[in-house]
Amino acid sequence: MLRSVCVCKLPARIHYTPSRLFSSGTRPASYNVKNLAVIGGGQMGLGIALVAASVADLNVTVIDNSQASLHKGISFIDKLLSRDVAKGRLTEERLAEVKGMIKLTTNFETISESDFIIEAVPEIVSLKLEIFNRLAQEAPAHAILSTNTSSISITKIAASALGAENRVISTHFMNPVPVQRGVEIITGLQTSQETLDTAMTLVESMGKIPSISSDSPGFLANRILIPYINEAIICLETGIGSKEDIDSIMKNGCAMPMGPLALADFIGLDTCLAIMNVLYANTADSKYRPSVLLSKMVDAGWLGKKSGKGFYEY
């Protein structure tokens, strides 16, 4: 079983040249990440924790205020690791080692032992600002404070981390974390070069391929992806095509691995709506207006795969 348990200056231009995946012997001398904390025991947070332990050999603490979520998390991690054993990708001995590196707890104060902290809670601005304000007060003075936000301004989040603004960054992992190799790295105005270097090294040590984005609404991935999904929903809403035909033409005509409506169900319609609302509110551009049908489906509780019903039944 898993165990339960500074005023900153505006930095010079931030830059980083990706090179190769770091091994323990080639990481920069300043890199001191041994203990990682993940705040949020949902699918994203657990995926990050699993990869950090199994690939980067980090001790990971997953913090969530719901004991029920943590119990589900234990089952989720057990399932993924057992599947890897069944497929010969992992030995029983290694499975035990990885599980021993992951702790799940409701005790927020365990962040005091962390070198790097990744927040992976829902896309609620007030919640994230509250967490980072608390992290600035309670996390170790050297710890990097990272958010997994998919759309909220990193500069705004950093401003809430009073005294630790230069240690705030975004490491936006893609879902599902154990499968998708890309990670979006976003710096705020306050982010220091050392913070960026540490975040890039951590991500590469987890076997991921980082891409750097400026702090603009939606960043790179969701600035492109979510409006594409929203337009597909508008096509359904206005009768241009059926859900099956919309997904089929994008898969079979445009070589997408998954149709946009099926992808929306997988991401979660509430998440898609939240990102569209951020894009619309922060750009004042009508092309980012959320689909009326998307809003209605979220109101109905039809959130996609996680609720059992979205554009498709699950």
Q: Give the residue numbers marked as catalytic.
A: 150, 172, 184, 222
Q: What is the DSSP string of 13-72?
A: PP------PPPTTTS-TT----EEEEE--SHHHHHHHHHHHHTT--EEEEE-S-HHHHHH
Question: In Å, how far from its chain's centre is CA 109?
Answer: 22
Q: What is the DSSP string of the chain?
A: -PEE----PPPSPP------PPPTTTS-TT----EEEEE--SHHHHHHHHHHHHTT--EEEEE-S-HHHHHHHHHHHHHHHHHHHHTTSS-HHHHHHHHHTEEEES-GGGGGG-SEEEE---S-HHHHHHHHHHHHHHS-TT-EEEE--SSS-HHHHHHHSTT-GGGEEEEEEPSSTTT--EEEEEE-TT--HHHHHHHHHHHHHTT-EEEEE-S-TTTTHHHHHHHHHHHHHHHHHTTSS-HHHHHHHHHHTT--SS-HHHHHHHH-HHHHHHHHHHHHHHH--GGGPPPHHHHHHHHTT--BGGGTBSSSB-
Tokens of 43: 């699918």
Kindly tell me the sign of the dihedral angle through the C-alpha atoms of 280, 284, 288, 292.
Answer: positive
Reading phi first (left if > 0) and then psi (alpha if -120 to 50, else beta), residue 32 is in alpha
